[in-house]
Amino acid sequence: MTIENVLLVSAALFAIGAYGVVSRRSLVTVIMSLELMFNGVVIAAVGFSRFTPSAALLSSDPLTAEAIRSALTGHVFAIFVTAVAAGEAALAFALVFAMYRATASVEITDASEMKN
Amino acid sequence: MMPMEVSTLTTVAFWAAAAMTLGFATIVVTQRDVFRAAIALAGSFLGVGILYFVLSAEFVGVVQILVYVGAISVLMAFAVMFIQDIASGSRPVQGRVIGATVAVLIFAALAFTAYNTNWSLMDEITDPVAVAALTEGYIEIGTGDGVRVATEVPPGSNDVVVENDGVLVDSTSAVGVLLVREYLLAFEIIGLLLVAALIGGLLLMREPSGANEPEPEKEVASV
């Protein structure tokens, strides 16, 4: 397990999600694939936090508690991305339901006209 | 000096979790039955959660399981059950081959970058106190701006001493301190964002005003 392996898994999950976003017709599956892409990005952030040192730890300045904690910036990034993804999922499904009520369809080809 | 050697067991667990994640993710994007895709998505999220535990990010792993496996998967299942004609399945679109090509190109570019970049690694840290602070633990001496970091209490010191575990070993407490010190503003803004998303979702889901009431009157009038 090295940083390269973690990034490989992250890239694979991101690519699978990207394929799902462009190849599925149902909006629900498209949103599922979007969540997969979010997860791929977060895996990379946590992997960097685990394997690569922050700049503050490599510098020759006297060591501070802030510099030590900066090793975990990737974890904080992961938590923020998770929160944004949760809000995005809730809003996306509200939009899908609104579209379903208006057109009785959740297929992405029927979403080309979003008037009224 | 290499902080946190990776054991064989950890590597096996990593590849097992990665296989679980990617296998379920493939089912999500190929399965026609949307409900099965939603179940596979929960499995994929769980695999990612295990990956976080393997990468010694316990707090992020717990958040992943609570938010994704617990909340977002349930939201997906509700969406699938709410929308009636979903039984017809999620048909793939025409440009599937182009999509697959683009996805493979994205993966190739990312993998090429990952393997051809000279990443700086943990063993480039020269300060032995920093290495110990990551893996074994450190103490903070003093208060306020005059805090010093060391591995052991100097003899005859009367300063306030706070003992901490290594941040990569016990990441949860350090992440908590990060959230309420360095990233306090972002933390508050994320709360505001979630409230805005909640209100926006409620507003979009609400029946259009006047859509229900006038209709019965019309029917009565026509009859």
Average pLDDT for chain B: 84
Say whether both B115 and B24 belong to one domain.
Answer: yes
> Does the CB of B112 have a partner CB in chain A at under 8 Å?
no
Q: Which residue has the higher pLDDT, A92 or B213?
A: A92
Q: Is residue B205 part of a domain?
A: yes
Domains of chain A by range and CATH? Answer: 3-111 (1.10.287.3510)
Q: Look at residue B176 and tell me if it is in a domain.
A: no
Length of chain B: 223
Same domain, B96 and B15: yes
Mean model confidence pLDDT for chain A: 88
| Three-class secondary structure assignment of chain B | CCCCCCCHHHHHHHHHHHHHHHHHHHHHHHCCCHHHHHHHHHHHHHHHHHHHHHCCCHHHHHHHHHHHHHHHHHHHHHHHHHCHHHHHCCCECCCHHHHHHHHHHHHHHHHHHHHHCCCCCHHHCCCHHHHHHHHCEEEEECCHHHCEEECCCCCCCCCCEEEEECCCCCHHHHHHHHHHCCCHHHHHHHHHHHHHHHHHHHHHHCCCCCCCCHHHHHHHHHC
| Greater pLDDT, A97 or B14 | B14
Same domain? For B35 and B96 the reply is yes
**CATH number where B53 lies:** 1.20.120.1200
| Residue that is last in its domain, among B83, B98, B119 | B119
In a domain, B106, yes or no: yes
Q: Do residue B105 and residue B129 come from a single domain?
A: no
Answer with the residue of higher pLDDT: A61 or B194. Answer: B194
What global pTM score does this model have? 0.87
Same domain, B44 and B65: yes
Touching A: B residues 51-110, CB under 8 Å: 51-52, 54-57, 59-60, 63-64, 67-68, 71-72, 75-76, 79-80, 82-83, 85-86, 89-93, 95-96, 98-100, 102-104, 106-107, 110
Do B21 and B81 belong together in one domain? Answer: yes
Residues B80, B64 within the same domain: yes
State the smallest CA–CA distance between residue A5 and chain B in angstroms. Answer: 9
Query: B75 lies in a domain?
Result: yes
- Spatial CA neighbour of A24 closest among A92, A107, A86: A107
| Domain count within chain B | 3
- Here the ipTM equals 0.92
B178 in a domain, yes or no?
no
Residues of A in contact with B18 (CB under 8 A): 5, 9
Report yes or no on B174 lying in a domain: no
DSSP summary character for residue A107: B
Mutate to test the interface with A, among B5, B14, B21, B124 (most CBs of A within 10 A): B21
The beta-carbon neighbor of A13 closest among B21, B93, B171 is: B21
Residues B12, B114 within the same domain = yes
Q: Across the interface, do B37 and A32 touch by the CB < 8 Å criterion?
A: yes
Are residues B42 and B113 located together in one domain of the fold?
yes
Query: Who wins on pLDDT, B223 or B51?
Result: B51
Q: Does residue B42 share a domain with residue B135?
A: no
- The string of pLDDT tens digits covering residues B114-144 is 999 888 888 888 888 888 888 888 888 877 7
A36-50 mean pLDDT: 94
Residues B100 and B17 in one domain: yes
For the stretch B158-195, pLDDT in tens is: 777 778 888 888 888 889 989 998 999 999 999 999 99
Which region among A14-28, B175-189, B207-221 has the lowest average model confidence (pLDDT)?
B207-221
Residues B12 and B80 in one domain: yes
The first and second tokens of residue B170, run together, are 């016990």
B107–A73 C-beta distance less than 8 A: no
By residue range, what is the domain housing residue B92? Answer: 8-119
Q: Which of A18-27, B85-94, B148-157 has the highest mean pLDDT?
A: A18-27
